[in-house]
Amino acid sequence: MGALCTAGSGVGAGRDAVYRGSDRLSPLSIFESGLKAAPLCGQITDLRDEFESPNRTIALSCIAAREALAAVGDRRGVAIGLVFATTVGGITRSELFYKALRTDALVAPNAARELAFHEPCAAAGFLCRAFGLAGFYTLSTACSTGLHAVGMAKRLVEQGDFDACLAVGADALSLLTLRGFSSLMLIDPAGCRPFDERRAGTSLGEGAGAMLVASEATAHRLGVPPLARVAGWGASADCHHMTAPHPEGLGAQKAMRAALDEAGIAPADVGAIATHGTATPDNDKSEIAAVRAVFADVPPFFSVKRTLGHTLAASGILEAVFAVCALRDGIVPPTAGFEQTDPAIGLAPSAGVRRDMRHIVKNSFGFGGNNASAVFSLSS
């Protein structure tokens, strides 16, 4: 696995921050948002791009991908594919070009070069070439994208399209997302407070996560001991609203049940739930309503949004990386930012406990009613 987030570069740095329930949000400083006040974000202020990346999203992606592939030995004769997940693609560079174009029309002939890596598929192609991969797919389903990339990687390996598949999710902070979420009044000026009665919105972040998905035989051939199994994947689209979740989380219920069914386990077998937990008033209430409908006895659950920020397409896979760590270490992390139970939810997230687990569920939900759920299980 690989990870890059506001807590630092590498799986270990992010894992430790998640286990501590650290508050890693800070006032936006990497660019000027144009908002009345600098929002609290999970930003990466010391990004070191060793890949000469065309834009910030690709730079983030390459660092996480490199870590995920670092343990792989001789991969000659092994076809490793790529599933790349993003929502903003190369828009950070596009925004700078547009700003320049508004003040100086003479830069217009540079458009082809400046916008060449705007599209998500161009970023996927860059990663494919940089790491010598065998082919790629690109996904963009809002904030569920990163977890869908893991599920799609699972399918591609099962179907024999690739011997192994690298799932990567990445998004950089941009004017589009900051101003967009602000216009929807979905940003909490005090920082996100998942599941808290006083929650007033999310906090945006940036980062990248990566997972190398392979069959057991291929993992053995590559000399990489499996960390966990992607036991089940569920996908649904409830199409309730452009930005609001279904009040009862019907699509979320379908995604969780599909993931559990594919994993061949009962809800009672799940040791913990790594929620989407954005801290928006509607999302948290809807997600727990869905969880209650699926789980007769709700297992411990947690959100890491106050620690990492909401990293959009990266969130599903980045948070899945730390969910796998939690599964292996027998730790249900605390939820930073939570203090008061919301009577409308009726449940409180974990305060941070140790628990023997065999299975953990990860949820990711996005605008437009896009829902993803995955079950990660310890290798037998």
Give the per-residue pLDDT at 238. Answer: 86
Cα 344 from Cα 202, distance rounded (Å): 18
The identity of residue 255, as a single letter, is: A
Query: Between β-strands 272-274 and 359-366, what pairing exists: parallel, antiparallel or unpaired?
Result: parallel
Cα 127 from Cα 84, distance rounded (Å): 9
Check 41, 276, 325, 359 and give the catalytic one.
Answer: 276
Q: How far apart are the first and last CA of the chain?
A: 19
Question: Percentage of the chain surpassing pLDDT 70?
Answer: 100
Mean pLDDT, residues 219-234 taken together: 95
Give the per-residue pLDDT at 118. Answer: 94
Q: Please say if 359 is a catalytic residue.
A: no
Which residues lie closer than 8 Å to 104 by C-beta, 6 or more apart?
none
Using the predicted structure, report yes or no on whether residue 247 has a pLDDT greater than 90. no
- Determine the 3-state secondary structure of 162 from DSSP: coil
Check 118, 148, 246, 310 and give the catalytic one.
Answer: 310
How many other CB atoms sit within 10 Å of the CB of residue 132? 9
Mean pLDDT, residues 157-186 taken together: 96
Using the predicted structure, report yes or no on whether residue 380 has a pLDDT greater than 80. no
Total domains in the chain come to 1
Using the predicted structure, report yes or no on whether residue 241 has a pLDDT greater than 80. no
Which tokens belong to 277?
A: 């937990």
Task: Answer for the pair 344, 247: CB distance below 8 angstroms, yes or no.
Answer: no
Mean pLDDT, residues 19-48 taken together: 96
Render pLDDT for 208-220 as a digit per residue (tens, 0 to 9).
Answer: 999 999 999 999 9
Q: CA torsion angle for 132, 138, 142, 146 (degrees, to 10)?
A: -40
Which tokens belong to 252?
A: 């979320």
C-alpha R_g of the chain: 20
Check 143, 165, 192, 325 and give the catalytic one.
Answer: 143
Q: What sign for the dihedral angle of Cα 375, 376, 378, 379?
A: positive
- Count, in order, helices (H) and strands (E) of the chain: 12, 15
Which tokens belong to 325?
A: 């760590």
Task: Answer for the pair 90, 118: CB distance below 8 angstroms, yes or no.
Answer: yes
Give the per-residue pLDDT at 63. Answer: 98
Which residues, listed in sequence order, are joined to residue 3 by a DSSP beta bridge?
209
Give the per-residue pLDDT at 105. Answer: 93
Mean pLDDT, residues 21-25 taken together: 97
- The b-or-e profile of 283-298 (16+ CB within 10 A means b, else e) is bbbbbbbbbbebbeee
Give the closest residue to 373 by CA, choosing from 273, 298, 300: 273
Check which CATH number belongs to the domain holding 198 and give it.
3.40.47.10
Cα 197 from Cα 370, distance rounded (Å): 25
Which tokens belong to 1?
A: 């696995």
Could you give phi then psi for residue 229, rounded to 5 degrees?
-105, 140
Mean pLDDT, residues 359-376 taken together: 94
Mean pLDDT over each residue of the chain, to the nearest integer: 95
Q: Which domain holds residue 80?
A: 2-377
The identity of residue 268, as a single letter, is: A
Which residues lie closer than 8 Å to 255 by C-beta, 6 or more apart?
234, 235, 236, 363, 371, 372, 373
Render pLDDT for 315-367 as a digit per residue (tens, 0 to 9).
Answer: 999 999 999 999 999 999 999 999 999 999 999 999 999 999 999 999 999 87
Q: Please say if 148 is a catalytic residue.
A: no
Task: Answer for the pair 337, 279: CB distance below 8 angstroms, yes or no.
Answer: yes
Which tokens belong to 203?
A: 């906090």
Task: Provide the CA 42 distance to its chain's centre, in angstroms.
Answer: 13
Which tokens belong to 108?
A: 């217009």
pLDDT band at 379 (very low <50, low <70, confident <90, very high): confident
HEC per residue, 295-329: CCCCCCEECCHHHHCECCHHHHHHHHHHHHHHHHH
